Amino acid sequence: MIPRYSRPAMADIWSPESRFRIWFEIEAHATEALADLCVVPASAAKALWDWWATEPAIDVAAIDAIEAVTKHDVIAFLTWVAEQVGDEARFMHQGMTSSDVLDTCLAVQLARASDLLLADLDQLLAAIKRRAVEHKLTPTIGRSHGIHAEPVTFGLKLAQAYAEFSRCRARLVAARAEIATCAISGAVGTFANIHPAVEAHVAAKLGLAVEPVSTQVIPRDRHAMFFATLGVIAGSIERLATEVRHLQRTEVLEAEEYFSPGQKGSSAMPHKRNPVLTENLTGLARMVRGYVTPALENVALWHERDISHSSVERYIAPDATITLDFALARLTGVIDKLVVYPERMARNLDRMGGLVHSQRVLLALTQAGVSREDAYRLVQRNAMKVWESDGALSLLELLQADPEVTAALSPEEIAARFDLGYHFAQVDTIFARVFGD
């Protein structure tokens, strides 16, 4: 966890206090269920909840000190709780195994983290939508291979981002369901010493599904799927961040990250305004993606479990969720405050001497009866002259002066193909697909 890339609400989920609180709730709910089954006295559950009602502070240091001796975290915790609650506490954890607590706790934490991430995505989607609508018809050049292709609108770029993050949201909802399961099934998952009703009770109280079959642990294919999904979302963050970085390049400068008063772009060069937020997002995306492989390697535990997954999850569960939370919020801020330069977009769009209209002429020639190969050759030979002039020459004028072209199309027919609005006829259709009507 890097403080500079973390936000309090998400970081809090992963604090020792939060973890111990969830552990307690699992144990207390389970004791309650055990009491209902007459396995333990009802007074045991009552004692636990009574103590809890006093809103006790969790003494993390004391628990850690016990663990230094027992080398077992759950036993250390149970010992500490027993010291607080007294004799009735000995009924806690009856028939359970540590992993029942640890894995169910992780499920709660990941579910809560998912909820924060879903809220982040909602805010990001709202920001993208707002800017998409604002720039629905702001013309800008579409680029393939970094090379001018044909006109699009800036709103369309954002509509694509909206659709992409909507997919990310749906994936995260599915990923949340993957990990939001509860297992209270005992040492090897047989419920030998604990009735399935306990699991059902705890699951219901914590808003989790029941794990159909666990071993000692909840199977790690669930977590692998979860972290893989975060990795995919990180990829989408990188994509939008890269778009902004490109747009802010000195020679392009069609949009720019907001640059706050007092900010310094460079210690050496006072003129610099750099897309540092989106570059940062590119790096953060690498990290979130980097956690996917360890998560995939965690699946193949030995037999009913080994504990190799545990250290991995101590890193990646907080780091992946905290980093992604920060990244989504940062990206929302970037989009929200993005400074857009429509006039520069227009200038860039015009700079290639009308090359962006080459395809329409090609199609017109074909429809006028020229073979596809000839049409391509005719347009390309004029387009290349414009290209080599760096936009100083006009494609329209060259075509109108090419007798092989004018043999098929009149100058007026050619000129009619140089119409920007033509390209935006379907923007409404696309917006309706993406944002609904």
Residue 342 touching a copy of itself (CB under 8 A): no
Show the tokens assigned to 62: 């004391």
Least Å distance, CB 120 to a copy of itself, is: 17
Q: Using CB under 8 A, which residues numbered 6 to 65 contact a copy of itself?
A: none
For residues 116 and 225, which CB has a smaller minimum distance to a copy of itself in the complex? 225
Stretch that binds a copy of itself, among 30-38, 122-130, 141-149, 396-404 (CB under 8 A): 141-149
* Burial profile 17-56: b = 16 or more Cβ within 10 angstroms, e = fewer: ebbbbbbbbbbbbbbbbbbeeebbeeebbebbbebbeeee
Least Å distance, CB 381 to a copy of itself, is: 9
Contacts 24+ apart (CB under 8 A), 269-276: 274/248, 275/244, 275/245, 275/248
Beta-sheet strands, E only, within 145-285: 147-153, 181-182, 209-210, 255-256
Angstrom CA distances, 284 to 59, 236, 328, 335, stand at: 34, 12, 10, 17
Tell which residue, 103, 114, 251, has the closest CA to residue 173.
114
**Is 266 among the catalytic positions?**
yes
Q: Is residue 215 within a helix (H) or strand (E), and if so which, with residue range? A: none
Q: Using CB under 8 A, which residues numbered 88 to 107 contact a copy of itself?
A: 90-91, 93-98
**Is 145 among the catalytic positions?**
yes
List 15, 266, 311, 410, catalytic entry: 266
Residue 86 touching a copy of itself (CB under 8 A): no
Backbone angles phi, psi at 85, to 5 degrees: -85, -30
Compose the 155-194 pattern: x for residues touching a copy of itself by CB under 8 A, - for all others: -x--xx--xx--xx--x--x---x-------xxxxxxxx-
Residue 358 touching a copy of itself (CB under 8 A): yes
For residues 53 and 184, which CB has a smaller minimum distance to a copy of itself in the complex? 184
Q: Enumerate the β-bridge partners of residue 147.
A: 144
Tell which residue, 143, 359, 335, has the closest CA to residue 251.
143
Least Å distance, CB 133 to a copy of itself, is: 14
Q: Using CB under 8 A, which residues numbered 227 to 286 contact a copy of itself?
A: 228-229, 231-232, 234-236, 238-239, 241-243, 245-246, 248-253, 260, 262-276, 279-280, 282-286
Tell which residue, 120, 101, 122, has the closest CA to residue 9.
120
List 144, 145, 260, 303, catalytic entry: 145
Among 13, 208, 379, 398, binds a copy of itself (CB under 8 A): 379
Among 329, 363, 368, 415, binds a copy of itself (CB under 8 A): 363
For residues 111 and 154, which CB has a smaller minimum distance to a copy of itself in the complex? 154
Residue 215 touching a copy of itself (CB under 8 A): yes
Least Å distance, CB 155 to a copy of itself, is: 11
Say whether 207 sits in a helix, a strand or coil.
coil
Distance from C-alpha of 23 to C-alpha of 26, rounded to nearest angstrom: 5
Q: Look-up: residue for tokens 């778009």?
A: 243
For residues 151 and 332, which CB has a smaller minimum distance to a copy of itself in the complex? 151
Least Å distance, CB 119 to a copy of itself, is: 20
Q: Using CB under 8 A, which residues numbered 283 to 322 contact a copy of itself?
A: 283-287, 289-294, 296-312, 314-316, 319
Distance from C-alpha of 400 to C-alpha of 410, rounded to nearest angstrom: 8
Residue 394 touching a copy of itself (CB under 8 A): no
Least Å distance, CB 296 to a copy of itself, is: 5
